[in-house]
Amino acid sequence: MLDVRLIRESPDEVRRALARRGAELVPAVDRILELDTERRALLQRVEALKAERNRQSEEVARRRKGGEIADDLLESLKALSEDIKQIDPQVRTVEELLEGELLSLPNLPLPVVPDGDASANVVERTWGEIPDFAFAPRSHWDLGERLGILDLPRGAKVTGTGFPVLTGAGARLSRALVNYMLDLHTTRHGYREVAPPFLVNAASARGTGQLPDLEQNMYVTEDGLYLVPTAEVPVTNLHRDELLRAEDLPVAWVAYTPCFRREAGAHGKETRGLIRVHQFDKVELVRLCTPESSAEEHQRILQHAEAVLQDLALPYRVVMLAAGDLGFASGCTYDLEVWAPGVGMWLEVSSASTFGGFQARRANIRYRPAAGGKPAFVHTLNASGLALPRTIIGLLENNQRADGSVQLPAPLVPYAGMERLVPPGA
């Protein structure tokens, strides 16, 4: 959530920043300013009335102590209390409207973020060698079927399209990836592992910015709990309404969860195989830090996500998203895209985002500076470390052999208990 003081003190700067995301967002600034002005006027009015009520109450007490009559003031006090009673609901109404406007406004893109929509995204760098096959590379769904590890028809039968089933060595590969990633991030990168709930309440979804903007993409239960779209939501909210110590920052969490996304509005996009699914496994990195270290922490969490792809020897590229392609809560995002030769596409396997104080203000996560200064909002960051479906796509399609087998990268072999995926009977 944006700081209303920033909008009040620098409205033109906020308008320009929002316009980079979309011109339709700019009018919200005027609505917020009007509501803020009305709220402050009402507060001034009610505070003046309360001050006068206090003054007159003291005068009544003084008169009574001296044996004087205070009937005139008692009538005035009654009128003052009635005025205050009428204004208080007006203040609450205006504050609710103001909060609603603020909650619906996305984060401001950082100056380093390029202008434009997704077509203006910038490839920062690439890593690894694109494989040169002596044969036509197969798609992961073809490989998965031949290897007997991917059963899309049964997933569709059990639940529906977009709910894949991994079987045999495929299920083992999935488990191996999760364990490998958790071990990597906890031992090499210093994260603390947490196993969070897979359901969150509305306050948690609001705290990280899923509500109200992304509610259409979330699954919700009858009692108002939301299935997590990413571990970012429960993990960040572990610290909701907390005051942290500066010496305890940065806080670094890593978590595995299944993720559930309706993908509303994704019709017409590539949805075959594992490219776009409604349920998938993911290892998530979350960091909380001071504002001064935010930029450095963004590069650090990006490098931690990249380390997985480098260990697995998967060719990838780092893409900085343009302002019009940023997620609702993000101020700057790098996508990591793995090359998938079987489908001839770069596929996102991680988004490393910095949110500044945007999420912390919504979730009320603060820290007290070491020097004993006034509490301030932390900065929050997260990155997928990594999402499994497209990582599996990259593994299958980049490491396939002419005989239909798939060679596993060396770091995965101890976790998977096998060096290759081979077709049944081979």
Query: For strand 243-245 and strand 279-289, is the pairing parallel, antiparallel, or unpaired?
Result: unpaired
pLDDT (tens place) for every residue of the chain, 426 residues total: 999 999 999 999 999 999 999 999 999 999 999 999 999 999 999 888 888 888 877 776 777 777 776 677 777 877 888 888 889 899 999 999 999 999 999 999 999 999 999 999 999 999 999 999 999 999 999 999 999 999 999 999 999 999 999 999 999 999 999 999 999 999 999 999 999 999 999 999 999 999 998 889 999 999 999 999 999 999 999 999 999 999 999 999 999 999 999 975 555 556 789 999 999 999 999 999 999 999 999 999 999 999 999 999 999 999 999 999 999 999 999 999 999 999 999 999 999 999 999 999 999 999 999 777 899 999 999 999 999 999 999 999 999 999 999 999 999 999 999 999 999 876
Q: What is the DSSP letter of 418?
A: -
Give the pLDDT of residue 67. 72
Closest CA to 406 of 336, 311, 341: 341
Task: Determine which one of 8, 63, 172, 276 is catalytic.
Answer: 276
Give the pLDDT of residue 316. 98
Tokens for 273?
């195989």
390 is catalytic: yes
Give the pLDDT of residue 364. 98
Task: Determine which one of 101, 350, 390, 397 is catalytic.
Answer: 390
Query: For strand 192-193 and strand 251-260, is the pairing parallel, antiparallel, or unpaired?
Result: parallel
Tens of pLDDT, residues 306-354: 999 999 999 999 999 999 999 999 999 999 999 999 999 999 999 999 9
Give the pLDDT of residue 187. 98
**Contact (CB, 8 A) for 131 and 344:** no
Beta bridge mates, 316:
127, 338
Name the packing angle between helices 140-147 and 388-398 (round to 10°): 80
Name the packing angle between helices 388-398 and 169-187 (round to 10°): 110
Task: Determine which one of 39, 261, 287, 361 is catalytic.
Answer: 261
Q: What is the DSSP letter of 360?
A: H
End-to-end CA distance of the chain: 56
Give the pLDDT of residue 73. 73
The sign of the dihedral angle between the CA atoms of 208, 213, 219, 225 is positive
Q: What is the DSSP letter of 220?
A: B
Task: Determine which one of 139, 174, 350, 351 is catalytic.
Answer: 351
Q: Which domains occur in the chain, in start order?
A: 4-103 (1.10.287.40), 118-421 (3.30.930.10)
Task: Determine which one of 8, 38, 348, 405 is catalytic.
Answer: 348
261 is catalytic: yes
Nearby residues of 14 by Cβ (< 8 Å), 6 or more positions away: 2, 6, 7, 29, 108
Residue 57's CB: how many other CB atoms inside 10 A? Answer: 15
62 is catalytic: no
Nearby residues of 25 by Cβ (< 8 Å), 6 or more positions away: 18, 19, 105, 106
16 is catalytic: no
Tens of pLDDT, residues 183-225: 999 999 999 999 999 999 999 999 999 999 888 999 999 999 9
3-class secondary structure, 411: helix
Q: Is 216 exposed, middle or buried (0-12, 13-18, 19+ CB in 10 A)?
A: exposed
Give the pLDDT of residue 423. 93
Give the pLDDT of residue 264. 58
Total length of the chain: 426
Closest CA to 302 of 368, 351, 371: 351
Write out the E strands in 115-274: 122-127, 192-193, 199-200, 226-227, 243-245, 251-260
Give buried/exposed letters for 190-203 (b at 16+ CB in 10 A, else e). ebeebebeebbeee
